Amino acid sequence: MGKITIAIDGYSSTGKSTIAKDLASALNYVYVDTGAMYRAITLFALDNKCIVDDKINLEKLIGLLPKAKLKFQFNKELDYSQMYLNGENVEQEIRSMRVSKLVSKIAIIPEVREKLVSMQREMGRNKGIVMDGRDIGTVVFPDAEFKIFMTASPDIRASRRYKELISKGENVTYEEVLKNVRERDYIDSNRASSPLMQAEDAIEFDNSDMGIQEQFERIHHYALKVIEKQKKNA
């Protein structure tokens, strides 16, 4: 009773998943990282040679899509769910630059979006969910009770992402990461199918100059208010 749907959208590397994860944990809600789903399909396409020399063989990929079985499995030690593709834990591989460089191109394919949006709606059927992505408040759950749109400057986002990749041992330059951030912003915002945009009823949240704790406290406080209101109206 009184559970709501929380949609967190925004540009890449704005820290959506950190906040969404912490928020879900504090509210005892389910957390779903939809970017991980698009990344897993990208890895699937690479593994099945549907992408050769950065060119996507659309027909082949669409034909193979039903064979891509995605599953989130909760990891108790890490306290979050990890992505499994056809039974294999792919959490680390889907975060690599190899996948990051191609994922926006896979995310523009309507058949891919259709498959993933329908899975996402099913996961959120009973509310009590925090879902992050690009089209959650606009397409997946337009009726979500609480919507946030996260932004931060491209330089700040690239520098956060760069530190994260370096700490994982990836061999990348800051310039390469910044280029990837800008390219993804452009493709995500300009694609024909469910482009990234702020829902009319979403709260814009620029976290360029804000630490994680402050962001969490503000958003958590707001979420509790929405949940309280929801209970009163029930």
Footprint of ligand DC (CB under 6 A) = 12, 34-35, 38-39, 103-104, 107, 133-135, 184, 188
CA 130/CA 25 separation, integer angstroms: 10
Q: Which of 12/81 has CB closer to ligand DC?
A: 12
Q: Give 43 or 107: the residue with its C-beta nearer to ligand DC.
A: 107
Rounded Cα–Cα distance for residues 24 and 207 (Å): 19
Nearer to ligand DC by Cβ, of 13 and 227: the residue is: 13
CB nearer ligand DC, residue 21 or residue 134: 134
CB of 116 to ligand DC, least distance (A): 7
Q: How far is the CB of 147 from ligand DC (least distance, A)?
A: 13
Q: How far is the CB of 67 from ligand DC (least distance, A)?
A: 20
Distances (CA, A) of 135 to 69, 189, 207: 22, 10, 19
Nearer to ligand DC, 141 or 227 (CB): 141
Cβ-count burial 30-60 (b if 16+ within 10 Å, e if not) = bbbbbbbbbbbbbbbbbeeebbeeeebeeee
Closest CA to 158 of 226, 97, 72, 68: 97
CB 110 → ligand DC: shortest distance, Å? Answer: 12
Q: Which residues contact 29 (CB under 8 A, 6 or more apart)?
A: 3, 6, 23, 128, 129, 130
Q: Please, what is the minimum distance in Å from the beta carbon of residue 117 to ligand DC?
A: 8
What would the two tokens of residue 127 be? 């509310």
58 alpha carbon, distance to own chain's centre: 23
- Rounded Cα distance, 202 and 144, in Å: 10
CB-nearer residue toward ligand DC: 33 or 227:
33
Please, what is the minimum distance in Å from the beta carbon of residue 12 to ligand DC? 4
